[in-house]
Amino acid sequence: MNGWLLAASIACVPGCQEAGRSPDRGGSATSRVEALRKEYDDAYEAFSRKYQAAKDDGERQELVAAEYPRPERYAPRFLALASEAGGDPAAIDACAWVLQRSQQPADKEAAYALLLASHLESPRLGDAVRTISRYTSTIAAERFLRAAIARSPHHDVKGQANYALAGLLAGLADLHEAITGTSVTAEQRAQSERYFGSEMLDELAVRDAGEMRGEAEDLLEDVIADYGSVKGARGELAAAAAGDLFELRELQIGKVAPEIEGEDVDGAAFKLSDYRGKVVVLDFWGFW
């Protein structure tokens, strides 16, 4: 993204003026980022108190529409701070906030551009890398992760980037199938274009889902072999990568379901294989 496009993405996100004035003058880059983060957190806490005190669903819906502090309204200010901070590590904090909270691809692309420009060799880059997952897959994120793998001198950042890239490629493979399948309607395609943009979808459509999943498997094997002790969001990467690798290889459509053993509601032991040849609906749930 060139400088003009970056400035446009910062200036033109709808609703950005509603988040208030820029904090944003005076003090260190770190203090300014922290002040903006606190402003958002305070607004969210105030909203939450009102939401919990609301009398009914109608009042809650009105409250969400009027007062919910949408991260997309704050993202332009975080991006502006990151841009002004240049190579200061506070810029990584600002970009990571945007990557974690904003749902707008344009915000995320602007954050990646800032990180690519000034922070690929930072030991703090992992803070931004860890915000990327299978469920936040874009080609802009892929380019960022590949650059981090190629240029970071830090073992832990490389490990986190390899792990994140594996999940991202699996997510892109899923998205590829979602936009190219024969059952995709024009309305679904248009909705995807509004969110991701037609340029990204066109680029993704010509890629091969099997190749992306194959590379994801290779990356996960590399993570287990070379970066297993690196800490990730879910503990050491070796365990997380092993679980993801099992999912990619064994829990895809068309695969035989793995054996499941347990007790039914009456306490009788059973195995999934007891029902081989029958239609079975599995409902997994839990509390987190």
- pLDDT tens-digit readout, 140-154: 999 999 999 999 999
Question: pLDDT tens-digit profile of 200-224?
Answer: 999 999 999 999 999 999 999 999 9
CA dihedral 22, 24, 25, 31 (to 10 degrees): 170
DSSP H helices in the chain: 3-11, 29-53, 57-67, 71-85, 90-101, 105-118, 126-129, 139-151, 155-180, 186-196, 198-205, 209-226, 237-250
| Parallel/antiparallel/unpaired status of strands 269-271 and 261-263 | antiparallel
Looking at residue 256, what DSSP letter applies?
Answer: P
Q: In angstroms, what CA-CA distances link 127 with 78, 95, 130, 231, 255?
A: 15, 9, 6, 12, 35
* pLDDT-wise least confident of 76-80, 102-106, 135-139, 255-259: 255-259
In the prediction, which pLDDT does 288 show? 66
Q: Mean of the per-residue pLDDT values for the chain?
A: 89
Whether the predicted pLDDT of 17 surpasses 60: no
Quick one: what percent of the chain has pLDDT higher than 70? 91
Quick one: what percent of the chain has pLDDT higher than 90? 77
Which pair of structure tokens corresponds to residue 13? 């996100």
What residues does each domain of the chain span? 1-119, 122-261
Is this prediction's pTM over 0.75? yes
Rounded Cα gap, residues 269 and 168, in angstroms = 38
Is residue 162 within 8 Å of 222, Cβ to Cβ?
yes
Is residue 133 within 8 Å of 166, Cβ to Cβ?
no
Whether the predicted pLDDT of 233 surpasses 90: no
